[in-house]
C-alpha cells in the first residue's frame, strides 16, 4: 500500500468471535494494523513490545489490530484455535484477527511477519514497515520506528520516516 492512501474496508473475525472492520474504531486518532502470527520467532519477539506500546498510548486514542494471514494448513501453529490460545496466554489487550483468505494482507502489500501499517485519524497510511531496529533484544533497540510513528500520528503530524523495511518471516501464502 502506498503512503497517503486510504484504508480500504475489510471484515475480519477476531479471536473473541466478533467481526471487525475499518469502522470498528473510527473514534481512534491512530490505528495500527500489525500483520503477524504465532509461529515466527520475529513475530513472537515483538508481542510484548506491541502490548507495551498499546498500554502506553491507548489513553491517547491508539488502537492496534493484530492480523494473522498465514496458511494454517502449512503452519498449524497459526490456526485460529492456536490464535485464541495465544491471545489468552499473552492477555492481549487488543483484537487478534484472522485473515483466513489473505485478502487484507494482500491489499496492504505486507510481505513479512511482523509488518506494521499506521493510519491517521482520516485513515490515511502514514507509516509502513518495521517496529524497531532490534528484534532479538528489546534493551538494545536504538530506533523505535513504530513508537515514533504513533507519537507523530497522535499529535496530528506526519512521521519523519514513512517506510522502513520490515524484518521478519515471510507471509505464508496459500498454495
Task: Judge whether 88 lies within some domain.
Answer: yes
Let me know if residue 175 belongs to a domain: no
Whole-angstrom CA distances from 138 to 22, 46, 133 are 30, 9, 9
Helices (H), the chain: 41-57, 80-90, 103-108, 145-154
141-to-53, 56, 126 alpha-carbon distances in Å: 14, 17, 22
Predicted confidence (pLDDT) per residue in 61-115, tens digit: 999 999 999 999 999 999 999 999 999 999 999 999 999 999 999 999 999 999 9
Q: How far is CA 123 from the centre of its chain?
A: 15
Residue 18 lies in a domain: no
Q: Which domain holds residue 86?
A: 27-170
DSSP 8-state secondary structure symbol assigned to residue 21: E
Q: Is residue 129 a part of any domain in this protein?
A: yes
CA gap 148, 57 in Å, rounded: 12
Count: domains in the chain: 1
Judge whether 142 lies within some domain: yes
Kindly report the CATH number assigned to the domain that includes residue 52: 3.40.30.10
Residue range 4-36, pLDDT digits in tens: 999 999 999 999 999 999 999 999 999 999 999
Is the pTM of the predicted complex or chain greater than 0.95? Answer: yes
Q: Read off the pLDDT of residues 132-175 as tens digits, 9 standing for 90 and up.
A: 999 999 999 999 999 999 999 999 999 999 999 999 999 999 99
Amino acid at each position: 500500500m502506498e503512503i497517503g492512501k486510504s484504508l480500504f474496508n475489510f471484515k475480519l473475525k477476531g479471536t473473541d468471535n466478533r467481526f471487525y472492520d475499518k469502522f470498528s474504531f473510527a473514534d481512534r486518532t491512530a490505528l495500527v494494523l500489525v500483520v503477524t502470527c504465532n509461529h515466527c520467532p520475529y513475530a513472537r519477539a515483538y508481542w510484548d513490545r506491541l502490548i507495551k506500546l498499546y498500554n502506553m498510548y491507548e489513553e491517547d486514542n491508539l488502537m492496534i489490530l493484530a492480523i494473522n494471514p498465514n496458511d494454517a494448513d502449512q503452519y498449524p501453529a497459526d490456526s485460529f484455535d492456536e490464535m485464541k490460545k495465544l491471545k489468552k496466554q499473552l492477555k492481549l489487550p487488543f483484537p487478534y484477527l484472522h485473515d483466513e483468505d489473505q485478502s487484507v494482507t494482500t491489499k496492504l502489500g505486507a510481505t513479512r511477519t511482523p509488518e506494521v501499517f499506521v493510519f491517521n485519524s482520516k485513515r490515511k497510511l502514514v507509516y509502513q514497515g518495521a517496529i524497531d531496529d532490534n528484534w532479538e533484544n528489546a534493551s538494545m533497540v536504538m530506533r523505535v520506528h513504530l513508537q515514533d510513528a504513533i507519537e507523530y500520528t497522535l499529535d496530528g503530524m506526519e512521521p519523519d520516516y514513512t517506510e522502513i523495511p520490515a524484518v521478519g518471516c515471510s507471509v505464508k501464502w496459500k498454495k
